[in-house]
Structure 1
Amino acid sequence: MPAVQVTDSGLQPERTSLSFVRTSLSILGLVAACLRWLPSSGFVALVGPAIAGTLVAGVGLYEHRTRSVRMTRFADEYAAPAVGAGAGLAVSVVLLSLSGLWVLMR
């Protein structure tokens, strides 16, 4: 069997990292938009967005710190999906949705 020549210089993990950054910034924008609920709903309405913002900031920090390790692993053909980071972003979207529903039902 002939040896496989790797032609990708690591652009795939870079694109994945950039997509996490874009998604994180979008969610943080939604967290900032939730501040409009503060006058009418009080501070309780900001519990979900505060937790979501903290979670997204943690995912961003994790993404930044592990980017070089993931790129090295990808170059060595040992890539693992970033399931934890994706799950953290998904949980933050669910928290924002639930807080929005709570404000609307109140």
Structure 2
Amino acid sequence: MTSVESEDAPKPPDKGLQSERTSLSFVRTSLSILGLSAACLRWLPPFGAAALIGPALAALLIVGVTVHERRSRPARLALFATEKATPALGMGAVLAASLLLLSASGLWILLK
């Protein structure tokens, strides 16, 4: 059985769409966590300002990731074009840490 496409046909060059999708996923995840941090403001009246320490720290981490993402995007696209790009493990780790911090502060509120 033969394939529909010829194996000798040239493939179109990647215009950096994979890197763009990764960048957009970081922004989308960051906005979700930032929205969740803002939703934690409802804890302020019954539990006091101490309940907002975790969400505030998580929001600061997220703002840092978002700023770093916006500044490093052109350099990452250039590396991707030369096939020398590496995964953005640091930004992923900061996103995970902010989620853990937000979750821990929520558990602390529930158990308080």
TM-score by length of 1: 0.94
**Within-5 A mapping of 1:1-106:** 7-106=13-112
Question: What residue ranges of structure 1 are gaps of 5+ in the alignment?
Answer: none
Aligned-residue CA RMSD in angstroms? 1.3
Give me the identity figure in percent: 61
Q: Distance in 2 between matches of 1:64 and 1:6?
A: 27
Question: What residue ranges of structure 2 are gaps of 5+ in the alignment?
Answer: 1-9
Tell me what 2:3 maps to. Answer: none
Q: What do residues 19-70 of structure 1 show as CA deviations (whole Å, max 9, x unaligned)?
A: 0000000000000100000001101110000000000000000000000000
The structure with more helix, counted as a fraction of residues: 1
Q: Distance in 1 between matches of 2:36 and 2:103?
A: 10
Q: Distance in 2 between matches of 1:6 and 1:96?
A: 43
Q: Distance in 1 between matches of 2:111 and 2:11?
A: 58
Q: What is the one-letter code of the residue matched to 1:30? A: L
Q: What is the one-letter code of the residue matched to 1:27? A: I
Q: What is the one-letter code of the residue matched to 1:58? A: G
3-state SS of paired residue (1:9): coil
Q: What is the one-letter code of the residue matched to 2:41? A: L
- Structure 1 outlier segments of 4+, above 4 Å: none
3-state SS of paired residue (1:7): coil
TM-score by length of 2: 0.89
Q: Distance in 1 between matches of 2:50 and 2:104?
A: 13
